[in-house]
Amino acid sequence: VQIDFQLPERFQLEYVAEDGSRQRPVMVHRGAAGSMERLFSYLIERYAGAFPTWLHPVQVVIAPLTDAQHDTAREISDRMRRAKIRVELDARNQKVERKVRDAKHQKVPYIVVIGPRDVEAGVISVNNRAGERTQEPVEAFVERVTREIADRRR
């Protein structure tokens, strides 16, 4: 429960007392929503939207290079979901550059690009927020991200 002296003033709330004078009320309200709002406001400000992997609503975006890699991308996406990784498969009919740019704009921790050479080699191309690119087997990436989430590392 919160007692709020600020909002009645901000909204210019008044009531007429028994003696006819105008009085400013005091608001009493539950603070659960306000507490959550303050927490998320703090987190957004602290991380500038680039939440740590464990906290980010979307931890990995998978962007297949062409429609030919879509089935492989879906299998990898399903594998990540089974590992409790929050993943989105970007199957839009857009160039991969656009998909990567959109994911970077959303400050997604990891962007996985899957092209024909990746499928052939049995690896995925991983871009992180720091701009580092690696190629690694799916299982190695899933283990690394799962461990990062469990350890609550940035």
Q: What is the mean pLDDT of residues 105-131?
A: 96
**Token reading at 7:** 């909002």
What domains does the chain contain, in order, with CATH numbers?
Answer: 2-47 (no CATH), 60-151 (3.40.50.800)
**Token reading at 90:** 């970007």
Residues in the chain: 154
Rounded CA gap, 5 and 11, in Å?
11
The answer to pTM > 0.85 is no
CB atoms within 10 A of CB 65: 19
Each residue of 15-48: pLDDT tens digit? 999 999 999 999 987 766 677 888 889 999 999 9
**Phi and psi of 84, rounded to 5°?**
70, 30
Query: In Å, how far from its chain's centre is CA 55?
Result: 7
